[in-house]
Structure 1
Amino acid sequence: MNRIEKLFKKSEEKLMPFFTAGYPKINSLIGLAILAKKVGCHMIEIGVPFSDPQADGPIIQRSSEVALRNGISINLIFEQIKEIRSKTEIPISLFSYINPIMNFGVDKFLDRCSQVGIDGVILPDLPYDEAELFCSKSRALGISPILLVAPNTSNKRIEEISIMADNLIYAVSILGITGNKLTRKDELKSYLKRVKKHSKAPFIVGFGISNRKDVIWFNKYSDGAVVGSAIIQNMIKNNNSLKETEHYLNDLLGK
């Protein structure tokens, strides 16, 4: 049982911050990850910067552009996660588009994930029909493949995706790119209840969550909330102050 499986055995509110590797400075991820654990976050999601991010809104795109200019690479991300893992047991998931992984080599990528202590991998652009081999290879190494469902995903497909993923799925709360304003809560509630009914695995919700009220609401109807664009936005607003990021994470946690 990996750290993600253990985490979702617990029935408690869960907050998962998203950080772009290599942003704002090339080595910032290490301090941000340790901070997330210190304040009480439950899992961290680490974004692998990519030059053509289809699911990312302008805020995360901007952070990825900065990270790429800083010289971040998959190899360096692995080294940073290795250092993070030496200091904390917080569950870590990697959010990456398929292209950088294909360029790196899928088997090599998964081997490195296993070696440095990554618990899950989220691939937003991996089609379900092509996911089975990746999922089986991931699970064989003790890594949770975290597949996405969306409001237009059928009930049958939600069940199929959850069975293939096994440990955890990621429910996109809006159609489109990250950072968009949330759709009407009644529509979201209906969608999340549908996911809960048909998923055989726990599920987290991401895209568009930005405040304590959102975190509480989404934890009521799912197994955890991911906050991404709003964290990057807060960092930009406060000149990337680690102290202000700590305050914001505490606010999200209700502290």
Structure 2
Amino acid sequence: MKKKYFIPFLIGNYPKNSKFIKILNFISKNGIKTIEIGIPFSESYLDGKIISDIYKKIKNFSLDDLLKSLKKFENIYKILVCYSNFIESIGMDFFLKKIKRKINSLLIVDQPLKYLLKMKKKFIRNNIKFVYIICTNNIKIINNTKNIFKELEKYNLCSHIYLINRLGVTGEKIKINYKNIYKNFIKISKLTRIPIITGFGINKNNFSFYKEKKINFVIGTKIIKYIKERKIKKLKKFIKKCIK
């Protein structure tokens, strides 16, 4: 089923709790298996203008309220996307304990694998996995991932390999080298059983490539733009197109 390849990105409890839950209900009823949820952070330098501007405007974000909103959606695999500063502000131990059994995996966008592996006992103790980011442009890393994957599989630490199309910020219009993406997708698939997702630069004009090649793909900026502009009918139509 093609719907399993599409992973929508949402901002936690945006634009407000009740509307966020309505969007989740729509996503759940349409059989989407995995979502990414961003935690608002004012210094989100890896996010594009649309998402970072929204993050800056969100005041008094409550992690407790977000977890409460997500509680009824146990059928959806939830990847929480955040910056390390947010975690450090409340402490890693406290943070992992709080999201335990409520969040499946964690994507810390500004921390390398080395940092995540140092924390492996904490991840294991709280039964939370993490997402490992690889850039398709970084051939050196891709060529030296076999031993890394062995360690990740040994401890069952990693939920997904996130193969990003280029270094930079989200939401930018970029020229995508589809041949290179598919080549690296196949290469990594042969080295590990860990599911691969891809993102950055994916939009309504090119997502069909990922569906055809059976590659999990994330779309965030387009979705957030629809929500920001209150174009919920267009959002629903777009989501249905992504899973068709």
Distance (Å, rounded) in 1 between the aligned partners of 2:110 and 2:147: 17
Root-mean-square deviation over aligned CA pairs? 2.5
Contact 1:209 1:226 in 2 (8 A): yes
The aligned residue for residue 216 of structure 1 is 208
- For residues 246 and 28 of structure 1, do their structure 2 counterparts lie closer, same or farther at Cα, with a shift above 3 Å needed? same
The aligned residue for residue 200 of structure 2 is 207
Distance (Å, rounded) in 1 between the aligned partners of 2:158 and 2:168: 25
Matching residue within 124, 142, 156 for 2:127: 142
* Higher relative contact order, chain-length normalized (CA < 8 Å, sep 6+): 2
Distance (Å, rounded) in 1 between the aligned partners of 2:73 and 2:178: 39
The aligned residue for residue 74 of structure 1 is 63
The aligned residue for residue 112 of structure 2 is 127
Q: Deviations over 1:124-168 (max 9, x none)?
A: 111222111333322332222111111215234433544434332
Three-state SS of the structure 2 residue aligned to 1:46 is strand
The 5 A counterparts of 1:72-221 are 72-81=61-70, 85-115=71-101, 117-151=102-136, 152=138, 154-162=141-149, 163-164=151-152, 165-180=157-172, 181-211=174-204, 214-221=206-213
State the 1:16 CA deviation. 0.8
Contact 1:121 1:145 in 2 (8 A): yes
Contact 2:82 2:107 in 1 (8 A): yes
Q: Deviations over 1:97-130 (max 9, x none)?
A: 1110111111111111114x21111111112221
Higher strand share: 2
Q: Tell me the percent identity.
A: 23
In structure 2, give the amino acid aligned to 1:72.
F
In structure 2, give the amino acid aligned to 1:205.
T
Gaps of 5+ in 2: none
Distance (Å, rounded) in 2 between the aligned partners of 1:123 and 1:46: 12
- For residues 105 and 230 of structure 1, do their structure 2 counterparts lie closer, same or farther at Cα, with a shift above 3 Å needed? same
- For residues 87 and 13 of structure 1, do their structure 2 counterparts lie closer, same or farther at Cα, with a shift above 3 Å needed? closer
Q: Across the two proteins, how many residue pairs are aligned to each other?
A: 236
In structure 1, give the amino acid aligned to 2:233.
K
State the 1:220 CA deviation. 4.6
